[in-house]
Amino acid sequence: MIRLLGYLGLLLLCFTVTASPTAAAKPDSEVVWKVDTDQKLVALTFDDGPNPVYTPAILDVLRQYDAKATFFVLGKRVLLYPEIAIREINEGHEIANHTFDHHFLKNVSPEILKQEIEQTREIIFEVTEQLPQVFRPPGGFYDKALLDLAREEKFTVVMWSWYQDTRDWKKPGVDKIVNTVRSNLHNGDIILFHDMEGDCSQTVEALKKLLPDLKQQGYQFVTVTDLISKVKKQPAS
């Protein structure tokens, strides 16, 4: 029995490591994980959408608190819900590329990933008339070839602040999501949420608690591209 539990535990660990968005490569200077700024600015990011029910609910909360966010969309879901992508743009948010079908880089060839990135960029442009400037690899997996592609195609690779992974996709409870963000918040953080397929109600409820509180503390919520533009200039040496 104990042996069986041990195997189960190992199996669970393997699954967690491979399936978790935190199973990312180590920080790299070409990849943005957070932004060094003196200003009380943070970036809310939402991956894997749009979701027909919960993305509009998220947009309602963002509008209520004058918050701008970045949506790392999947091309296939923009094709299903183009009107939501258009609403995101119309309300001042940023749309970013998260591939067409959410394959992890370790499971597909770089050529397939390149195709997916280009296909999704075209879909986003067709639907919203905006060209995405920012890309986040599914699961956070990247390699040198992907960074070379990013340089070639002039998009910025953006991850998330490692302590700001809310793991909302695991439905840990509203308070847990709120506490993850609130207990670790720093200027320039990039916070990871999901508006993926399925039930994202905990994410919506967490935002309803977080946004008024953080706004009262003086934080402003900006898109990733805006946040990057606010990076503190290093004094010339």
Enzyme catalytic residues:
47, 194
- Cβ 102 to Zn ion shortest distance, Å: 6
- Is 168 a binding residue for Zn ion by CB under 5 A? The answer is no
Q: Select the span of 39-47, 55-63, 141-149, 151-159 touching Zn ion (CB under 5 A).
A: 39-47
Among 32, 35, 42, 48, binds Zn ion (CB under 5 A): 48
- Cβ 3 to Zn ion shortest distance, Å: 35
Between 48 and 219, name the residue whose CB sits nearer to Zn ion.
48
Query: Footprint of Zn ion on residues 148-167 (CB under 5 A)?
Result: none
- Cβ 155 to Zn ion shortest distance, Å: 16
**Between 123 and 152, how does the x/- string for binding to Zn ion read (CB under 5 A)?**
---------------x--------------
Number of residue whose CB is nearest Zn ion: 47
Between 159 and 214, name the residue whose CB sits nearer to Zn ion.
159
Do 75 and 120 contact (CB within 8 A), yes or no?
A: yes
- Cβ 142 to Zn ion shortest distance, Å: 13
Among 31, 33, 47, 132, binds Zn ion (CB under 5 A): 47
Query: Which residues of the shown chain bind Zn ion in the complex (CB under 5 A)?
Result: 47-48, 138
